[in-house]
Amino acid sequence: MHRIQTSLRLDADKFLEAKEILKNLGLNFTDAVNIFTSLVVANKGLPFEVKMPSKKLQKSMDELENRDGKSFKNVDELFEDLDN
C-alpha cells in the first residue's frame, strides 16, 4: 500500500482532546483518520448522516440556546402540557 503524507488545520483544543480519547481506545490520530477515510470510500460518502435540521428542530435548539423554552415546576406539569 502506497502511503502519502498530508497536513490538516484543526482546532488545537479539539485535536488534543480527540488524541486523548483515541489513545484510550488504543488508536492514534493517524489510525483514526485512516479508518475515517476507509469508511468514506466504503460508503461512497460520509459515514454518517449530514443534513440541515428541520425548522421545528432548529426552533427548539434556538429556544434552548436562548433559554426561551417552557419550564415546569414538576414532572406532572410537564406531562399535563404534553397531553394538551
Each residue's pLDDT tens digit, 18-62: 999 999 999 999 999 999 999 999 999 999 988 888 999 999 889
Quote the cell numbers at residue 80. Answer: 399535563
Q: Which stretch of 20-24, 37-41, 68-72, 77-81 has the lowest confidence by average pLDDT?
A: 68-72
In whole angstroms, give the CA distance from residue 61 to residue 58.
5
Residue 79's pLDDT is what? 93
In whole angstroms, give the CA distance from residue 58 to residue 48.
20
